[in-house]
Amino acid sequence: MTPDRIGIMGAMDAEITEFLGHADLIESTEWRGFTFHTVRLEGREAVLVKSGIGKVFSALVSQHLIDAFAPEALIFTGVAGALNPAYEIGDVVISRDCIQHDVDGRALGFARGNLLYTDLKIFAADPDLARIALSADAVGHNIRSGRILTGDQFMTRDQINHHRYLVDELHGDAVEMEGGAMAQVCAVNGIPFVVVRTISDRADGDAVEDFNRFLPEVARNSFAIVRHILSRLPRSA
């Protein structure tokens, strides 16, 4: 793999502003109210975009990014809630794989997370992208390889008590709202991907308070890891 142009997505302003502040802007283009910024960062071209929150926005923007900019890989960056008790706020989780936890066709005989009438459930991240990401330094925090669960719900302690399956059945390490949808789009298009998320809260703890408090600070950790990926990716001749 020799990715020259990389697509970088974040759901919220706080998750992409750090990039815009550090990259050289080449041009910005608008599509359906989304702004795609073509930048140079670490000697490489990247297309940065804020998707908005949730699976539909993530899928919509991923597909347009692929169609209009032909990136060789996609990275989703931002924050996530911890499910794994060992994870702490500020730790970075690199997707080993993603599952959409709110896909539920069990009434029709499908396993939870299995997209109905397909054999798609676990979307594996690109091993090279994940390996490079894991070699980064999270400066004072742990960097971990984990399973990221995606769904259109912000998970709090109350919710988790009704969603024990996130850990017990799906073995999730972190939960967020976009990565698994981008992963599905990448699988359909045959594009490598990785999700880089910094833990902003414990999904089974004081998620709302911690999320609001730590979002700007921890979003910076994800930026450092993505920058590291860009600097280490092999280049085409």
What whole-number distance in Å separates Cα of residue 69 and Cα of residue 64? 8
Active site residue 15: yes
CB of 141 to ligand ADE, least distance (A): 16
* Number of other CB atoms surrounding residue 186 within 10 Å: 25
Nearer to ligand ADE, 3 or 81 (CB): 81
What whole-number distance in Å separates Cα of residue 132 and Cα of residue 1? 13
Active site residue 128: no
Nearer to ligand ADE, 31 or 214 (CB): 214
CB of 127 to ligand ADE, least distance (A): 25
Q: Is residue 213 exposed (0-12), middle (13-18) or buried (19+ Cβ within 10 Å)?
A: middle
Which residue is catalytic, options 15, 18, 176, 178?
15
| Closest CB to ligand ADE: residue number | 81
What whole-number distance in Å separates Cα of residue 18 and Cα of residue 50? 12
What whole-number distance in Å separates Cα of residue 119 and Cα of residue 225? 32
* Residues that bind ligand ADE in the complex, under the rule CB under 6 A: 79-81, 154-155, 175-177, 200-201, 203, 207, 211
Nearer to ligand ADE, 3 or 10 (CB): 10
Residue in the structure block whose two tokens are 């594009």: 191
- Sign for the CA dihedral angle at 163, 51, 96, 228 comes to negative
Which residue is catalytic, options 91, 201, 204, 210?
201
CB of 198 to ligand ADE, least distance (A): 9
Nearer to ligand ADE, 79 or 98 (CB): 79
CB of 230 to ligand ADE, least distance (A): 23
What whole-number distance in Å separates Cα of residue 200 and Cα of residue 137? 18
Any idea which residues carry the catalytic annotation? Answer: 15, 201
